[in-house]
A = this chain, B = another copy of it.
Amino acid sequence: MEDLFSIRHSSLEIYHPPMAATHDIVIPQTFTFGEGEPFVLESGATLGPVTLAYETYGRLNADRSNAILIAHALSGSAHAAGYHAADDARPGWWDECIGPGKAFDTDRYFIICSNVLGSCYGSSGPGSINPATGRQYGLGFPVVTIGDMVRAQVRLVDYLGIDRLLCVAGGSMGGMQVLEWAARHPHRLRAAIPLATTARHSPMLIALSEVGRQAIYADPAWNEGNYYGNGKKPDAGLALARMVGHITYLSDESMQQKFGRRLQAREQYGYEFQTEFAVESYLKYNGNNFTRRFDANSYLYVTKAMDYFDLSQPTGSFAAAFAGSAAIKFLVVSFTSDWLYPSYHSKELVRALHAVGADATYLDIESTWGHDAFLLEVDTMTRLLESFLDRLADEESVAIP
């Protein structure tokens, strides 16, 4: 397996320009299904009604051939690009890559992003109202899988009248959804872009997930998941889970570059149990911040879905999983310093794709930014995505909308 090229790049701080006058305000949307016949999950449990929050950017062309689905990571939402209001402080989470003239060019493509099942940004999850009780589900919400998340997305794509997506793209857990689409719904997409991801969660990843979950369980405010309306959420546990997560999103080298052993707002060691080092301050800030925007129960559900993810099952072979995917074009990308989803996961995947005769391009990009690189290496990703999508759109004769 040869890396096609490697690039060194170092843009850690993302600059968000003020909203341009040309930016349209994005309207969050919802799609609800399973109101009559409930949605049957992989576990055998049923769920209904099921709501997916989603957003779209750009316009669908006449033959509906220019649709690209973007799948988000653990803590992401449907708000991938643009602004909800003119005074929003920040745009959507992948705005660097989605918009007019950007990698996912909204002048050419119709971009869809939906919040995953089990999450807390408008799609059905443990914080949603259970119609059977009139109260939040809590742990009464059924455990969902990456497969369930994707089958819900298939329903959304059906609803939007799209037979075949031009592409499904995403990083980290988004990449797992991409691979699930390619393996289980191969006739519904022409291309797949799994970034910084894996086709099978490793024991190391399961271990890290479990520590996060145990931190939430250990918080007395969690109360077996029944905390909605209690006035007290398991913030301490969720913040701890997020701190562990943040460590895994960076690399040893990026931590050296970003923080080193710098002290935060002090000159000397305090010889006391306070936040002293800049890296401690960063973790604490991000951990606490996360509790204002994410639901602890959703953290349990979404990490569990990732832990269950293993496309080699039930046969034990990735090639068997992708046996029907030979007609899909793949762009597989990993990053050299990503120790959460190390490059060997992607290499294993690409070997399986080549074994079934799929057209898979693989790049192992040299970057110091660890797992976060898929979001931070904007210039590199833009060049890569543009050239892949340009060629794809030409080959598929995708008309400008």
Contact = CB atoms under 8 A, between A and B. Distances in A.
A144 to B, nearest CB: 9
B256 A203 contact: yes
A277 B275 CA distance: 34
B215 A255 contact: no
For this chain, the copies found in one complex come to 2
Given A244-B244, A342-B252, A273 B213 contact: yes
A213 B207 CA distance: 19
Contact of A218 (B143, B237, B277): B237
A259 to B, nearest CB: 4
Contacts of A105: none
A255 B202 contact: yes
Contact of A203 (B142, B211, B236, B279): B279
B252 A142 contact: no
Contacts of A259: 203
Given A240-B218, A273-B300, A279 B206 contact: yes
A261 B258 CA distance: 34
Interface centre among A139, A143, A260 (most CB of B within 10 A): A143
Contacts of A256: 202-204
A232 to B, nearest CB: 12
A215 B203 CA distance: 22
A61 to B, nearest CB: 40
A202 B310 CA distance: 34
A204 B247 contact: yes
A394 interface: no
Interface string A248-276: 00101001101111000000010111010
Interface in A295-321: 300, 304, 307-308, 310
Among all A-B residue pairs, the 6 with the closest Cβ atoms: A43-B271, A218-B236, A143-B271, A203-B255, A203-B279, A203-B259
